[in-house]
Amino acid sequence: MSSIGRPDPSVPFADLANANATPNSDKIPPIPFMRKARPYLILAPALLLTIGILIPFFISIYYSLTNYSFKYKDYSFVGLENWTQMLTDPSFWHSVWVTLQYAFFSTGVEMLLGIGIALMLNQDTRLSKALRMVLIFPLMIAPVIATLIWQLMTNNSVGVIAYALRSIGIDNFLWGADPKTAMFSVVLIDVWVNTPFVIVLVLAGLRSLPKAPFESAMVDGGSAWFTFKTLTLPMIKPLLLIALLFRIMISLQEFSIIFALTRGGPGDTLMSLPLTAYNEAFTYKELGTALPYMLILWVFIYILSYYLIRYWSRAQKNASGS
C-alpha cells in the first residue's frame, strides 16, 4: 500500500505542525500605542473634572475646621467648634426648615404643572406646536432677571399683576414684603422660570413612547385615565424621576431668586441655608463659620440623590420589562 500523503509515525506530531506552519505565524503583532492609550484618553476629561471638583471640596472641609476669616490674616485649627456652634444655633434649624419648604413647594408644583401641561401639549395641532415654542421662553431668562421682571409686574403703582388684582378687589398685596406671602412669592417665580424644564423632559418622553400599546388600549375601550395610569405613567416614570432629581437638587441650593427678591427677608423669613452661608461669609466675613452650612447642604443633597437614583434604576428596569 502506498504511503504517499501519510505522516511518518516516527516524526512527532508537534514537529509536523511546526514544519507546516508558516514563518512567524505564532507571533502576535504589537498593539499600537494610541490604541492602548484610547481608554485613558476617553476617561481623561472625566478624571480631570473629578479632580477639579474634589480639590475645592476637601479644601472646604479643611477650612470648616478652622476659624478662617476675611477680617484677619492668621487663622488656627478649631476642630468641630464651627459645626457644634451651627448645630446648636436655632437659626440653623430655621434655615433648614426654609430650605426644605422651598424645595418641597417649588418642586411639587413644577412637577404637577409640568406633567399636566406636557400631556396637553402632546397633540399634533397648530396651537400645541405654537405653545411648545412659547413655553420655552422662561428657560432663556436668568433667574435674577426673571425676579426683577416679577418685581416690576407686582409693583403696586405700575405693575400689571397689581392692576389685575385691584380689578377683582385685591388691593395692596404685599408679595415678598409680608412674611405670610414671601414664600408664596419666591415659589411663584421659581415655578414660572423652571416649569418649562419639566415640560420639555416629560414631553420628550411622551413623544418617544411606542404607539402600539396605546392603540390596543383604545381598541379594547380603555379610558384616558386607565391608559395614563397603566401605560403612560409607568413608561415615563424614569424621565419623571430624572426631572425630579434635577429640580429638587437645584431648588435645595436656590440662592438667586430669594436673594434678588427679599435678600432672605422680611426679617429672617426666607433665610435659607445658601443665604445664611452667604451672610456668614460675605457680610460677616467669617468663612470658617459659613462653610459648614454649605457642607451640610451637600450632605442633604447627596443622601436624597442617592436614594432617588436607586429608585430610578428600579423604575427603568420595570419600564423596559426586565
pLDDT of residue 108: 94
Average confidence (pLDDT) over 56-67: 92
pLDDT-derived band at 274 (thresholds 50, 70, 90) equals very high
Look up cell 500500500; give the residue.
Answer: 1
pLDDT-derived band at 9 (thresholds 50, 70, 90) equals low
Q: What percent of the chain has pLDDT over 70?
A: 90
pLDDT of residue 16: 45
pLDDT of residue 252: 93
Average confidence (pLDDT) over 87-101: 93
Which pTM value belongs to this model?
0.82
Among the listed residues 150, 158, 274, 143, the one whose alpha carbon sits nearest the alpha carbon of residue 197: 143
pLDDT of residue 215: 76
Residue 190 has pLDDT above 70, yes or no: yes
pLDDT of residue 13: 47
CA 22 to chain centre: 60
pLDDT-derived band at 14 (thresholds 50, 70, 90) equals very low
**SS3 of the chain:** CCCCCCCCCCCCHHHHHHHHCCCCCCCCCCCCHHHHHHHHHHHHHHHHHHHHHHHHHHHHHHHHCECCCCCCCCCCECCCHHHHHHHCCHHHHHHHHHHHHHHHHHHHHHHHHHHHHHHHHCCCCHHHHHHHHHCCHHHHCCHHHHHHHHHHHCCCCCCHHHHHHHHCCCCCCCHHHCCCCHHHHHHHHHHHHHHHHHHHHHHHHHHCCCCHHHHHHHHCCCCHHHHHHHHHHHHHHHHHHHHHHHHHHHHHCCCHHHHHHCCCCCCCCCCCHHHHHHHHHHHCCCHHHHHHHHHHHHHHHHHHHHHHHHHHHHHHHHHHCC
pLDDT, one tens digit per residue, over 136-166 is 888 888 889 999 999 889 888 888 888 888 8
Least confident of 90-99, 184-193, 205-214, 267-276: 205-214
| More confident call, 296 vs 232 | 296
